[in-house]
């Protein structure tokens, strides 16, 4: 690591409030899934009050040395009265066990849902310390300075919270408004252009929890923070509310909505080597299209990348996936698409699967398992057909498509349609 990063002193971001975090400029992959072109920071803070010092979060264990050096430059371990844990992920809580060994008198403040994770982090050592389980709106008095806790579940884990320094209106937002971007100039008005990193972070960390993001923004907006101090990337002191607005915008749909308010969207994706699954797909599509109030779209995944479909799926109400069984499995583009759905909230959407097979037919039940794993509803048993479908079997596929679409539309009876017209 470049020595200028390691030797940078703590930064006083407001009177008596210091950044005591760590730089990790060489990181290129975070949590196995996120790419970062110029590293990240683990931001931790120390707040000096008349009656004690609060430490807000720690850093990844491998960077503890930087953290402790900066901490020691602004306070002593004896002076620490509170350790506020906004999030128990190891990039923030990695140095916690050592911090508590050095400051055992400090009182830990953690959300109720964080307790199990705190136990898992400190193990038997937790018995040596005092802790308080904090609820939404609870406060910590540091003597003339008040830290108010704001629960922000799922941003990023169920236990996550933010902490608001009331008098200075600084929001210590942990992962919320974070970005993997390492720049020792620290503030958003001084660092390089980090807009891409900010959006990328949202898309990979916050996007599956858009509903929770909007609820969190409802709590954060009235606080009108003058500064947002997240746990990764730049400290947002210039136009902090723009970033709050940005989270609202990113939590909406990027696509114009062509559907009327009462219309449901059903997407059918398939692949086919010899045309059997393609024939099934066409019939499922015909059947589903016969139900009023459901807009059905059919996509052959041989046509290209799966990435663009993730946005469509996010806005859809139901998805049907068709794959032949090849070597005891569904085909890779189907898995690629199903794997990319971790980035969005699929809970409660309707899912279904179909496909042609020769002798063992694993693809359909494997897809169904994955859909259930994504917390989707799989109300109809998947449709499997040996080799090319007969006319009767194609009719079964139409009825299968109808049944799924009826469920989406909340209807009991299909309208009569002439398939020859389609």
The gap from C-alpha 297 to its chain's centroid, in whole angstroms, comes to: 27
Instruction: CB nearer to ligand FMN: give 192 or 328.
Output: 328
Work out the end-to-end distance of the chain between its first and last CA atoms, rounded to an integer number of angstroms.
63
Q: Which stretch binds ligand FMN (CB under 6 A): 32-40, 54-62, 116-124, 319-327?
A: 319-327
Sheet holding 17-19, edge to edge: 11-14, 17-19, 45-49, 52-56, 80-84, 107-111, 130-134
User: What residues are paired with 45 via a beta bridge?
Assistant: 19, 56
Position among 3, 249, 260, 327 found at the interface with ligand FMN (CB under 6 A): 327
**Is 324 an interacting residue with respect to ligand FMN (CB under 6 A)?**
yes
State which residue, 315 or 365, has the beta carbon closest to ligand FMN: 365
Q: Which of 69, 27, 60, 25 is nearest to 42 (CA)?
A: 60
Comparing CB distances to ligand FMN, the nearer of 144 and 328 is 328
Rule CB under 6 A: say whether 196 interacts with ligand FMN: no
d(CA 400, CA 320) in angstroms, rounded, equals 10
Spatial contact of 45 and 13, defined as CB atoms under 8 Å apart: yes
In the bound state with ligand FMN, the residue whose beta carbon lies nearer, of 230 and 355, is 355
Q: What is the DSSP letter of 75?
A: -
Considering beta carbons, is residue 103 or 330 the nearer one to ligand FMN?
330
Select the span of 188-196, 218-226, 268-276, 294-302 touching ligand FMN (CB under 6 A): 268-276
Closer by beta carbon to ligand FMN, 362 or else 395: 362
Which residue number, 114 or 361, has a Cβ lying nearer to ligand FMN? 361
Q: What six digits make up the tokens of 25?
A: 């400029």
Q: What angle do CA 378, 293, 271 make, to 5 degrees?
A: 50
Q: How far apart are CA 252 and CA 102, in angstroms?
A: 45
Size of residue set near ligand FMN by CB under 6 A: 18
- Indicate which single residue of 273, 302, 339, 381 sits in contact with ligand FMN (rule: CB under 6 A): 273
State yes or no: residue 333 binds ligand FMN (CB under 6 A).
no
Radius of gyration of the chain, Cα coordinates, nearest whole angstrom: 26
Residue 397 and residue 186: Cα distance in Å, rounded?
Answer: 58
Handedness of CA 17, 22, 23, 29 (dihedral sign): negative
What is the pattern of x (binds ligand FMN, CB under 6 A) and - over residues 226-265? ----------------------------------------
CA distance 115 to 121: 10
Q: Considering only residues 341-370, where is the footprint of ligand FMN by CB under 6 A? A: 356-361
Written as six digits, the tokens of 348 are: 């409660």
In the region spanning residues 386 to 405, those forming contacts with ligand FMN, defined by CB under 6 A, are: 387
Tell which one of 275, 304, 373, 379 touches ligand FMN (CB under 6 A).
Answer: 275
Residue 328 interacting with ligand FMN (CB under 6 A): yes
For residue 277, the minimal CB distance to ligand FMN (Å) is 3
Residues in the chain: 422
Smallest gap from residue 322 Cβ to ligand FMN (A): 8
With a CB cutoff of 8 Å and minimum separation 6, the contacts of 420 are none
Verify binding: residue 326, ligand FMN, rule CB under 6 A. Answer: yes
Binding site for ligand FMN (CB under 6 A): 272-277, 324-328, 356-361, 387
């Amino acid at each position: 690591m470049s020595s200028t990063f390691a030797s940078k002193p703590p930064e006083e971001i407001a009177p008596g409030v210091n950044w005591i975090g760590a730089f990790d400029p060489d990181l290129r992959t975070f949590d196995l899934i996120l790419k970062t072109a110029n590293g990240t920071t683990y931001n931790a803070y120390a707040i000096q009050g008349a009656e004690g010092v609060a430490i807000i979060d720690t850093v990844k264990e491998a960077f503890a040395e930087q953290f402790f050096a900066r901490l020691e430059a602004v306070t002593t371990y004896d002076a620490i009265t509170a350790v506020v844990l906004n999030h128990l992920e190891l990039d923030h809580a990695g140095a916690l066990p050592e911090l508590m060994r050095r400051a055992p008198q400090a009182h830990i403040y953690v959300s109720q849902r964080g307790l199990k994770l705190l136990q898992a982090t400190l193990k038997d050592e937790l018995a040596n310390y005092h802790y308080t389980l904090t609820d939404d709106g609870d406060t910590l008095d540091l003597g003339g300075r008040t830290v108010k806790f704001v629960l922000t579940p799922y941003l990023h884990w169920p236990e996550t919270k933010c902490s608001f320094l009331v008098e200075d209106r600084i929001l210590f937002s942990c992962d919320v408004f974070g970005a993997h971007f390492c720049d020792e100039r620290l503030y958003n008005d001084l660092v390089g252009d980090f807009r891409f990193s900010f959006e990328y972070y949202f898309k990979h960390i916050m996007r599956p929890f858009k509903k929770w993001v909007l609820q969190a923004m409802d709590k954060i907006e009235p606080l009108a923070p003058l500064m947002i101090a997240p746990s990764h990337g730049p400290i947002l002191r210039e136009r902090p509310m723009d970033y709050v607005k940005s989270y609202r915008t990113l939590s909406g749909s990027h696509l114009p909505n062509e559907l009327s308010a009462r219309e449901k969207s059903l997407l059918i994706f398939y692949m086919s080597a010899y045309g059997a699954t393609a024939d099934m797909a066409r019939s499922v599509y015909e059947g589903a299209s016969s139900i009023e109030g459901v807009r059905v779209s059919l996509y052959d995944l041989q046509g290209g990348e799966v990435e663009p479909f993730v946005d469509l799926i996010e806005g859809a109400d139901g998805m049907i996936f068709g794959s032949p069984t090849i070597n005891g499995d569904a085909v890779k583009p189907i898995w690629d698409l199903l794997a990319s759905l971790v980035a969005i909230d699929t809970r409660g959407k309707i899912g279904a699967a179909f496909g042609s097979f020769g002798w063992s037919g694993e693809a359909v039940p494997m897809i169904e398992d994955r859909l259930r794993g994504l917390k989707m509803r799989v109300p109809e048993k998947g449709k499997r057909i040996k080799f090319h479908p007969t006319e009767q079997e194609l009719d079964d596929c139409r009825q299968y498509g109808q049944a799924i679409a009826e469920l989406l539309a909340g209807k009991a009876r299909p309208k009569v349609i002439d398939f020859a017209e389609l």
